[in-house]
Copies of this chain bind each other. A is one copy, B any other.
Amino acid sequence: VITPTQQDDPLQALIRQMARLPGLGQRSARRIALYLLQHRTDVMQPLAAQLDMAASQIHACKSCGNLDTIDPCRICRDDKREQSVICVVASVADIWAIERTGQFRGVYHVLGGVLSALDGIGPDDLNIPGLLTRVRDQNAREVILALGATVDGQTTAHVISDQLTAKPGLKITRLAQGLPVGGELDYMDEGTIGLAFAARTSL
């Protein structure tokens, strides 16, 4: 039972704020708050400082939407990367995931989501105009639509593809679909197995 006095308590306020973060609930927020208070000077205060610093120093790149301390971001200003190959992703987390593979040497474009009737996200909520401008200005030769293999992701890919095809000589690709690495057949859904069959490659 939380009395009115306790509700104004900085501890309860901290737990309430933490419980609103994605993936955390009341229980995990309480656990983290307790841990922080037990590691006040070595974890809690540095974290507060880090949050403040990140909030003031990190900004969205005006060109691609990536998060960085400089604008344009490190990827956009890297002249060893091919500015004519643009990989379209839904969110900055997808940039990080692709960068971890170390295989892509082009640039990115963050849409800020995918079209979703359920979540009320329409074409005007995504940075599609910015992509069209960049495709023209950077004289793009390939646009890779690296969107999730979901209905919403693939719908978004088709909508963008329709707007890009007007440009001659531009290659539009999307990520391959099939079995994930290490995927056992009997753990896969029928959709994935069906797709992998249809798109089978010769050995």
Contacts of A35 in B (CB 8 A): 21-22
Nearest B residue to A49 by beta-carbon distance?
B48
Query: Once the chains are docked, how many angstroms separate the CA of A10 from the CA of B45?
Result: 15
Query: Once the chains are docked, how many angstroms separate the CA of A132 from the CA of B31?
Result: 28
Task: Answer yes or no: A9 CB below 8 A from chain B CBs.
Answer: yes
Contacts of A5 in B (CB 8 A): 74
Partner of A51, one of B24, B36, B57: B36
Task: Answer yes or no: A40 CB below 8 A from chain B CBs.
Answer: yes
Query: Once the chains are docked, how many angstroms separate the CA of A48 from the CA of B49?
Result: 7
Partner of A67, one of B28, B31, B37, B52: B37
Query: Once the chains are docked, how many angstroms separate the CA of A116 from the CA of B30?
Result: 23
A54 and B10 contact, CB distance less than 8 A: yes
Chain A, range 133-173, C-beta contacts under 8 Å to B: none
Interface of A is mostly: helix
Task: Answer yes or no: A191 CB below 8 A from chain B CBs.
Answer: no
Number of interface residues of A (CB under 8 A): 52
Task: Answer yes or no: A17 CB below 8 A from chain B CBs.
Answer: yes
Known: A1-B102, A43-B17, A92-B34. A10 touches B48 (CB 8 A): no
Query: Once the chains are docked, how many angstroms separate the CA of A161 from the CA of B138?
Result: 76
A164 CB to nearest B CB, Å: 27
Partner of A14, one of B6, B13, B51: B51
A51 and B44 contact, CB distance less than 8 A: yes
A50 and B14 contact, CB distance less than 8 A: yes
